[in-house]
Amino acid sequence: MSRINRICILLLLALPSSAWSELVIRVTQGNDKPTIVAISPIALNGIQIKEDIGRIVEADLKRSGLFSAIPRRDMLAFPAFSKDVYYRDWRMLGAEYLVVGSMALIEEDRYRLDFSLLNVTAQKTEFNHRVSGTKSQMRDLAHLISDKIYQEITGIRGAFSTRLAYVTANLENGKYVYRLHVSDADGAREKLMLESPEPIMSPSWSPNGKELAYVSFETGRPAIFRQNLVNASRQQLTDFSGLNGAPSWSPDGKKMALVLSKDGNPEIYMLDLQSNKFTRLTRHFAIDTEPTWMPDGKNLLFTSDRGGTPQIYKLNVASKATQRLTFRGNYNARASLAPDGRTLALIHRASSTFHVASFDLVTGRLIELTETRLDESPTVAPNGAMLMYATKQGDRGVLAAVSLDAGVRYVLPAKKGDVREPAWSPYLR
């Protein structure tokens, strides 16, 4: 059996093998001293909507691990405007911040939502804000509210309005069915993007969040596709013999780094998406794989075993010069770069167990972030606060998330079955 065939088989074995369903969320570890907020129910003024906006905001903030929420059953009143707030009542409950809001119909199927963040301790209004949308956009409005509150209190841009892509597999009538899904960052509104009897791997978001690239085996061998998430139109980008894998969009969305073995060995190539021209970037007898772009668009990070074990290297696209970055441990791979261009999430092994770790490209400091086993596929949120990865919980594959300081953790198992290959979207424009 050739080395290329062995690689393909290993990739297939890494895929899930059970049923699929919508994700659920369970926070397993939060901040030691969370900020206590109270989310008063949004006053609907007779408007009938199926979503409870206040509950969604509460769940978003709690999921960040930095907040705890006052239960509604303990609230003494449900104010909709800051003028109706008696700060003493909320201080008695221990609330540090209070969110109030009210909805109004402004035209046919378009609604305005006014909300305020109040500082209970200082007895002042931090901000008043307004968002608007249709009934079908109520969850979007809720996530926008969460983003605004999160940024005001923490100083970090919220990422609740982003999305997730992930792959599931289901054994049906003795055969596997593979599915590519896209959902909100909280796992809600799961949408099926592709269903296939052949494996699907390595989803990668375009910089504008409107497309996904991924690997599909539907042609009988691995091929890279790009798919529009609005109209579901697809384009096959590669059809070479051997490996076609690990697509990664450039920051400007005009190019894609990928792995091809068409010349006999897995190498990093760059595809110009306008001219369809391929440029070979690496030339080595070792396996070069898993490219990811740095924010400057001039350099790539990739995994290579050219030093004897898989490690992370940096590649200058213009000069083709390479530099080894990781040295600690016998395995460092699957790099995912935080937006600061400095913090790298990766899969690290020092002995026999794979963990998610963070690696500082400036200081060289490496910190293990997880205590689970068989961790894989880390992907960093666009605000750099959290990263998501695939792991095992019992005999099931689940998605899990951890903050880059390891202080916050939550798990996103499917209601039943396994899920793998997470990809966190950029900010959606």
What total number of domains does the chain contain? 2
**pLDDT at residue 13, as a whole number:** 34
Which residue(s) pair with 36 in the sheet?
A: 68
SS3 57: helix
52 domain residue, yes or no: yes
- The answer to whether residues 179 and 215 belong to one domain is yes
Q: How many CB atoms lie within 10 A of CB 213?
A: 24
- The answer to whether residues 40 and 86 belong to one domain is yes
Region 201-218: mean pLDDT is 96
- The phi and psi torsions of 83 (rounded to 5 degrees) equal -65, -15
CATH code (residue 111)? 3.40.50.10070
Of 215, 287, 303, 288, the closest CA to residue 12 belongs to 215
For residues 300 and 233, give the distance between their C-alpha atoms in angstroms, rounded to a whole number: 28
218 domain residue, yes or no: yes
Q: Over the stretch 185-198, which tens digit does the pLDDT of each residue have? A: 999 999 999 999 99
Region 210-221: mean pLDDT is 95
Q: Give the end of a domain, one of 134, 154, 174.
A: 154
DSSP states of 76-101 = S---SSGGG--HHHHHHTT-SEEEEE
Q: Name which residue leads in pLDDT, 5 or 46.
A: 46
pLDDT reading at 396 higher than 80: no
**pLDDT at residue 16, as a whole number:** 35
Q: Over the stretch 55-111, which tens digit does the pLDDT of each residue have? A: 999 999 999 989 999 999 999 999 999 999 999 999 999 999 999 999 999 988 899
pLDDT category at 37 given cuts 50, 70, 90 is very high
- The answer to whether residues 312 and 387 belong to one domain is yes
Region 244-254: mean pLDDT is 97
CATH code (residue 358)? 2.120.10.30
pLDDT reading at 348 higher than 50: yes
**pLDDT at residue 417, as a whole number:** 61
Least confident of 41-50, 55-64, 349-358, 399-408: 399-408
Region 415-426: mean pLDDT is 85
Of 98, 29, 96, the closest CA to residue 62 belongs to 29
**pLDDT at residue 352, as a whole number:** 80
429 domain residue, yes or no: no
- The answer to whether residues 171 and 220 belong to one domain is yes
- The answer to whether residues 195 and 95 belong to one domain is no
**pLDDT at residue 79, as a whole number:** 96
315 backbone φψ class: left, alpha, beta (φ>0; ψ -120 to 50): beta
- Cβ neighbours of residue 86 closer than 8 Å, sequence gap 6 or more: 77
For residues 87 and 123, give the distance between their C-alpha atoms in angstroms, rounded to a whole number: 6
- The answer to whether residues 202 and 111 belong to one domain is no
- The answer to whether residues 57 and 167 belong to one domain is no
- The answer to whether residues 191 and 250 belong to one domain is yes
Query: Residue 113 has which token pair?
Result: 């939502």
402 domain residue, yes or no: yes
Q: Give the end of a domain, one of 100, 133, 154.
A: 154
pLDDT category at 327 given cuts 50, 70, 90 is very high
206 domain residue, yes or no: yes
Region 122-148: mean pLDDT is 96
User: What's the helix, strand, coil split of the chain in %, to 5?
Assistant: 15, 45, 45
pLDDT reading at 41 higher than 60: yes
**pLDDT at residue 281, as a whole number:** 97
316 domain residue, yes or no: yes
Query: CA-CA distances (angstroms) from residue 345 to 53, 215, 289, 427?
Result: 33, 22, 16, 19
**pLDDT at residue 72, as a whole number:** 96
pLDDT reading at 17 higher than 60: no
Mean pLDDT value across the chain: 90
End-to-end CA distance of the chain: 47
- The answer to whether residues 99 and 204 belong to one domain is no
Exposure b/e, 35-73, CB count within 10 A at least 16 = b: bbbbbbbbbbeeeeeebebbebbbbbbbbbbbbbbbeee
13 domain residue, yes or no: yes
Of 192, 187, 290, 299, the closest CA to residue 247 belongs to 290
Q: Which amino acid is located at 408 in the chain? A: V
For residues 386 and 389, give the distance between their C-alpha atoms in angstroms, rounded to a whole number: 10
- The answer to whether residues 132 and 261 belong to one domain is no
- The answer to whether residues 243 and 279 belong to one domain is yes
Least confident of 226-240, 323-337, 348-362: 348-362
**pLDDT at residue 31, as a whole number:** 65
Q: Give the end of a domain, one of 154, 179, 200.
A: 154
**pLDDT at residue 156, as a whole number:** 95
Question: Which one-letter DSSP state was computed for residue 151?
Answer: H
pLDDT reading at 3 higher than 80: no
pLDDT category at 415 given cuts 50, 70, 90 is low
For residues 287 and 161, give the distance between their C-alpha atoms in angstroms, rounded to a whole number: 37
Query: Residue 218 has which token pair?
Result: 């539907």
Region 33-48: mean pLDDT is 95
Q: Name which residue leads in pLDDT, 275 or 395.
A: 275
- The answer to whether residues 128 and 239 belong to one domain is no
Region 101-126: mean pLDDT is 95
Supply the range of the domain harboring residue 179.
3-27+162-424
The residue to which tokens 């290993």 are assigned: 10
pLDDT reading at 241 higher than 50: yes
